[in-house]
Amino acid sequence: MHLSRLERIVQLRGGWNTFDNNETLRCQLFGVDLAGACRRDSRARFPMMPEALIQEAHSTNHSPSIGAYGISPFLASCMNLYIQDPLLLKAFHDLSIAINYVNRKSRRGEQWVNIKFFVFWIDAIVHGLVEQEFLDKSNVLQEFTRLGVLLFLLKIRRYCGQLGVSMGCSNAKLRSFVSRQRLLGFAVSTEKILLWALFMGLLESREKSDQDCYIKMMTEIAYEIGFWSWAETLAAAKKVVWIQDAFDAEVKCRDRFEVVLNGLIIWHLSKTHNED
């Protein structure tokens, strides 16, 4: 209701283009709209910032020597998994540039958390991913990736101080996938990406039952890959997409994860022994 009225006010004022000379107000309107879209995983009402401004910000802070996927060699090796998905390819491309920027700032001891960062880097990616569900059953990886990236980006928005950031819808959709979709039997590279997406869901979960749901699936994937510890599992997730400043302090449930994983390992070993 409130967003509908806000949209009407913008229309009566002459449309979105009338805010071209008022960047602060335009960012505020866009932020409110995008927060609502993320809360429902629905289409944003207002258009993205002018492409020229976004590209200018990206080109100013992108180092060609690093390359589009230089921040994650593992992720670069997995891009063929998304060859038919320009939406996700663009999201990863733009996200890699954003993380290059963060890493460069961090190495210099400079502050990277500011409104322009999440408006021109993070929000631009979020805007392209909301309401873009991959509903076909054959697109499990794609939808898992989309939800994982959204959770990652929304946490960055919150870390940067954006108010009204809700991840409940994306996390609920991810949990629903976990409860009804078989996630084993994929190639190792695919399973590592699924594992990373599950980490994003776990980091955002507050209820023990939700955490247990993620932990159960994560341990099964970790065991199938060949990980026998929390450290190996977390290291694999960090090789996909990670920002140390924002995520390291959020990592939780290590003890519970290891109890479940150790139980799974013992069960498989005893089963193998009995079969022999």
Torsion region of 267: left, alpha or beta (phi above 0 gives left; psi -120 to 50 gives alpha): alpha
Amino acid at residue number 58: H
Q: What is the pLDDT of residues 149-172, one digit of tens each?
A: 999 998 888 888 876 678 888 889
Residue scoring higher pLDDT (117 or 193): 193
Question: What residues contact residue 79 under an 8 Å CB cut-off, 6+ apart?
Answer: 69, 89, 92
Does the residue 7 lie in any domain?
Answer: no
Highest average pLDDT, of 124-128, 172-176, 198-202, comes from 198-202
Q: What is the pLDDT of residue 160?
A: 83
Are residues 120 and 90 in contact, defined by beta-carbon separation less than 8 angstroms?
no
DSSP 3-state of 43: coil
Q: What is the pLDDT of residue 1?
A: 46
Q: What is the pLDDT of residue 150?
A: 92
pLDDT(225) > 80: yes
Residue scoring higher pLDDT (16 or 223): 223
Does the residue 33 lie in any domain?
Answer: no
DSSP 185: S
d(CA 235, CA 229): 10
Residue 67: band (very low, low, confident or very high) from pLDDT cuts 50, 70, 90: very low
Residue scoring higher pLDDT (173 or 161): 173
Share of the chain above pLDDT 90, in %: 29
Q: Work out how many domains the chain is built from and give that number.
A: 1
Average pLDDT over residues 189-203: 94
Q: What is the pLDDT of residue 274?
A: 65
Does the residue 19 lie in any domain?
Answer: no
pTM of the model: 0.85
Share of the chain above pLDDT 70, in %: 82
Residue scoring higher pLDDT (148 or 57): 148
Residue 127: band (very low, low, confident or very high) from pLDDT cuts 50, 70, 90: confident
Does the residue 144 lie in any domain?
Answer: yes
Does the residue 265 lie in any domain?
Answer: yes
Cα-based angle 210, 144, 211 (whole degrees, multiple of 5): 15
Residue scoring higher pLDDT (75 or 188): 188
Residue 46: band (very low, low, confident or very high) from pLDDT cuts 50, 70, 90: confident
Does the residue 62 lie in any domain?
Answer: yes
pLDDT(65) > 60: no
pLDDT(252) > 60: yes
169-201: b or e for each residue (b if 16 or more CB lie within 10 Å)? Answer: bbbebbbebbeeeebeebeebbbbbbbbbbbbb
Does the residue 77 lie in any domain?
Answer: yes
Residue scoring higher pLDDT (272 or 117): 117
Are residues 178 and 198 in contact, defined by beta-carbon separation less than 8 angstroms?
yes
User: What residue has token string 């873009």?
Assistant: 132
Does the residue 25 lie in any domain?
Answer: no
pLDDT(70) > 60: no
Q: What is the pLDDT of residue 12?
A: 65
Instruction: Determine the structural domain holding residue 151 and report its residue range.
Output: 49-275
